[in-house]
Structure 1
Amino acid sequence: MTTAKVSTQMSESMTLAVFLTLAGGFQDAYSYNCRGKVFANAQTGNIVLLGQNLAQGNWDLVLRYLLPLAAFLAGVYITEWVHHLYKDYTRIHWRQIVLVIEILLLMVVGFLPQSLNGLANMMMSFACAMQVNSFRKFRGIPCATTMCIGNMRSATEMLCKYHITRDKNLLRKSRHYYLVILIFAAGAAAGALLSIQLGERSIWLAALLLMAGFVLMFIKEDIRKESNSETSRTEP
């Protein structure tokens, strides 16, 4: 077995995961604190609140939670088309196109007044869906950058399996998930504080984090990879 240095796409690097996860936590706190207590990313919460208002007959609040859900579904659908149309494009990675769309949407959201919170939440939910559907794993480990429940489950599962098997690779994966959760919490804390202090335009800070991620993706990351063969290939 030999160890070779392999050049990989930065779209699966831990560095990019940090920027995307900070932005994800920031957006959720921003939408809740600054845009009418709606979650841009945590659609499970929106479904619960939608069901509660339906049961209570609060018809004026139903659309507040229904429209972001519809926008999330639309974001996933559009992302699949972007992937299909640009997956073989060589000048720019298709995931960078997704980030550009996200950045533009968040920039527009920063200009929207409180009277247009519904539109702002729809645009953020659409952007969140594009991100979660495009960036699904980092360093080969499936991971979400816009929500925590799946990461929490995986982190604790890997930790338990490590204690059973003493496989250090499982411990590494568990730490990876817990780190992403902490980063998301840091982004949410920043989003909560800055959205209260700066108001609607604070979302531009999340857009800047995504812009940093966009720039990072022009860089190839070298990692060491074990292989049984003398040659290794570069992942697309």
Structure 2
Amino acid sequence: MTAKKACKQMSESMTLAVFLTLAGGFQDAYSYNCRGKVFANAQTGNIVLLGQNLAQGNWDLVLRYLLPLAAFLAGVYITEWVHHRYKDYSRIHWRQIVLAIEILLLLIVGFLPQSLNGLANMMMSFACAMQVNSFRKFRGIPCATTMCIGNMRSATEMLCKYHITRDKNLRKKSLHYYFVILIFAVGAAAGALMSIRLGERSIWLAAMLLMAGFILMFIKEDIPKSKRAIRE
């Protein structure tokens, strides 16, 4: 007997994960190579650099890393507000609202000169926080699209468990994570190359990737009713 089908919004599809992860890798490489060696996504790196400059008394560099951290926290806070306010909105998914804000921020960043790198990094960190807080799993598997450390841990954990249990589902999940890591690396490579060639405006390519994801989310996919995820 064929399982009943249900329409599901594609906010957890692997295709969307590819677009978002490419954009995530691109943004991190762009901010580091084109915006004063600050990480838009990898806030752990910013915390390390902040602590290092505090220890060395480089007070003029402290704000370079402190402000993106503050912007990241603000991005998480605003995302939760958007989720609460629009989670039952029928015309558009609340995650698409998040993507629209991200796209707008990246478009503005592309116009900012080098003298405003601090503002550019704050805006990108804010956008990153919104993305990482809104898109947490794909195909039911928790996964990040803006950083790799959690994905690396999960991928290797699943691989080890597969070798112990021979559960093919664990191998599938492990490959899922490694694939996302590879896509992130491809996005970072593209971000590095385009930053060198196009400069500040290269971030618009990341905005285009997010726009593709935004459009993709208007498409519904049929899935077995038994596997339908609860709309978050």
Q: TM-score range by the shorter chain?
A: over 0.9
1:90 pairs with 2:90 = yes
Tell me how far apart the structure 1 counterparts of residues 103 and 208 of structure 2 sit (CA, whole Å): 8
Contact 2:5–2:222 (CA under 8 A) maintained in structure 1: yes
Tell me how far apart the structure 2 counterparts of residues 133 and 62 of structure 1 sit (CA, whole Å): 26
Tell me how far apart the structure 1 counterparts of residues 162 and 130 of structure 2 sit (CA, whole Å): 33
Corresponding residue number in structure 1 for 2:53: 53
Structure 1: gaps spanning 5 or more residues: none
How many residues matched?
231
1:219 pairs with 2:222 = no
Kindly provide the amino acid, as one letter, of the partner of residue 155 in structure 2. A
Corresponding residue number in structure 1 for 2:173: 173
Corresponding residue number in structure 2 for 1:106: 106
**Higher mean displacement: 4-13 or 42-51:** 4-13
Corresponding residue number in structure 2 for 1:7: 7
Tell me how far apart the structure 1 counterparts of residues 59 and 105 of structure 2 sit (CA, whole Å): 28
Corresponding residue number in structure 1 for 2:18: 18
Q: Spell out the pairing of 1:60-209 with structure 2 (5 A cutoff).
A: 60-209=60-209
Inter-CA distance 162–233: structure 2 relative to 1 (3 Å threshold):
closer
Tell me how far apart the structure 1 counterparts of residues 125 and 64 of structure 2 sit (CA, whole Å): 12
Kindly provide the amino acid, as one letter, of the partner of residue 9 in structure 1. Q
SS at match of 1:37: coil
Tell me how far apart the structure 1 counterparts of residues 201 and 136 of structure 2 sit (CA, whole Å): 28
User: Cα deviations across residues 129-180 of structure 1 (Å, max 9, x unaligned)?
Assistant: 0000000000000000000000000000000000000111100100000000
Give how far 1:9 is off.
Answer: 1.5
Tell me how far apart the structure 2 counterparts of residues 213 and 21 of structure 1 sit (CA, whole Å): 10
Tell me how far apart the structure 1 counterparts of residues 221 and 163 of structure 2 sit (CA, whole Å): 32
Give how far 1:221 is off.
Answer: 1.6
SS at match of 1:8: strand
Corresponding residue number in structure 2 for 1:31: 31
Report the TM-score, using the length of structure 2 for normalisation: 0.96
SS at match of 1:222: strand
Tell me how far apart the structure 2 counterparts of residues 70 and 234 of structure 1 sit (CA, whole Å): 33
Tell me how far apart the structure 2 counterparts of residues 220 and 201 of structure 1 sit (CA, whole Å): 33
CA RMSD between the two structures: 1.4
Contact 2:151–2:177 (CA under 8 A) maintained in structure 1: yes
Give how far 1:6 is off.
Answer: 3.7
The percentage of counterpart residues that share the same residue type is 90
Tell me how far apart the structure 2 counterparts of residues 37 and 4 of structure 1 sit (CA, whole Å): 51
SS at match of 1:70: helix
Tell me how far apart the structure 1 counterparts of residues 149 and 99 of structure 2 sit (CA, whole Å): 23
Tell me how far apart the structure 2 counterparts of residues 234 and 141 of structure 1 sit (CA, whole Å): 12
Structure 2: gaps spanning 5 or more residues: none
Give how far 1:234 is off.
Answer: 6.8
Contact 2:8–2:228 (CA under 8 A) maintained in structure 1: no
Kindly provide the amino acid, as one letter, of the partner of residue 127 in structure 1. A
Give how far 1:191 is off.
Answer: 0.1
Give how far 1:8 is off.
Answer: 1.7
Kindly provide the amino acid, as one letter, of the partner of residue 134 in structure 1. S
